[in-house]
Amino acid sequence: MNSSRYFRLPNLFSSNSTNMFFQRLFAMANYSFSSSSPSSKTSIQAVYDICKNNLTPSTSPPPQLIHELSSILDTIGPSDVGLRDEHQEDDRGHGFSTPNTLNRLDRWAQPITYIDLNESQSFTMCMFCFPTSSVIPLHDHPGMTVLSKVLYGSLHVKGYDWVEPPLIKDSKEIARAPVRLAKLAVDKVLSTPCSTSVLYPKTGGNLHCFTAITSCAVLDILTPPYEEYSGRKCTYYRDYPYSSFGSGDELIDGKEDEYAWLEEIDAPDDLYMRQGIYAGPPIRM
């Protein structure tokens, strides 16, 4: 694998230089569209304008703003952002077993394509294009609100929220990090057509993982964006069944299968993405 063609997820949110390069490249290639009249505003332009005019780097968006954004995102499909609907049988990935994939030959997983639409101090607007069976492992969004719209295909989402007050236990193995109790918030498959999903700083599955059941694409708005020096670092986790560390005394309500212990881990070595170029309607910034 040519390492120069691939990069890991944390780099996408910690370095603006690559994102700015592709933004400039896109702007140069589409300068001739800058004279479009307001009456011809596209859906993605409307989303960008609302984000630019209302989102801030220090506060969470109010409910009415989330509702407004979700209403527009609900109408957006692949063609609105320059993508083709690739919801079809493919065998480019591996790792998610379904009746149709059990007999397939295991292959090197293809990279997830990351497409940057905007990166600012107030929000990130981007897309992820997943080959079948590709995975973004369990990770968090500290202090962030995230709106996600599946554009085509089917995506399995599993998300947790921390149990408060924090309940932390030392691992039984000396070299392992402590584990913290979390409660399952989301465990479902999103298949188009579907409405926009929203996670919040402390609810809605702020720690989540994605598994592509089919090839699929997701349009994301993250606000405020990842920014390590502001305490919004992307951290990865491994989840363990409740019975691995719990005695039952910690359960506040529900059943054991609704809880898990999460251990902080390093960014996975096998998580690779490639940068894609936005090919949809121009976005006036």
Residue 32 has pLDDT above 50, yes or no: no
126, 211 Cβ separation under 8 angstroms = no
Residue 24 has pLDDT above 80, yes or no: no
pLDDT digits (tens, 9 = 90+) for 208-261: 999 999 999 999 999 999 998 888 999 999 999 988 886 666 665 668 889 999
pLDDT digits (tens, 9 = 90+) for 56-82: 999 999 999 999 999 999 999 999 999
Identify the pLDDT of residue 129. Answer: 98
Q: Would you list the domain boundaries of the chain?
A: 3-276
Residue 95 has pLDDT above 50, yes or no: no
**More confident: 14 or 77:** 77
**More confident: 278 or 174:** 278
CA distances from 19 to 33, 81, 122, 141, 284 (A): 21, 17, 15, 20, 16
Residue 120 has pLDDT above 70, yes or no: yes
Identify the pLDDT of residue 256. Answer: 85
Averaged pLDDT for residues 47-58: 97
Identify the pLDDT of residue 219. Answer: 99
Averaged pLDDT for residues 126-155: 97
Identify the pLDDT of residue 248. Answer: 60
CATH label, 3-276, candidates 3.40.50.2000, 3.30.70.260, 2.60.120.10, 3.40.50.2300: 2.60.120.10
What residues contact residue 111 under an 8 Å CB cut-off, 6+ apart? 6, 131, 134, 272, 273, 274
Identify the pLDDT of residue 245. Answer: 81
221, 188 Cβ separation under 8 angstroms = no
Identify the pLDDT of residue 145. Answer: 98
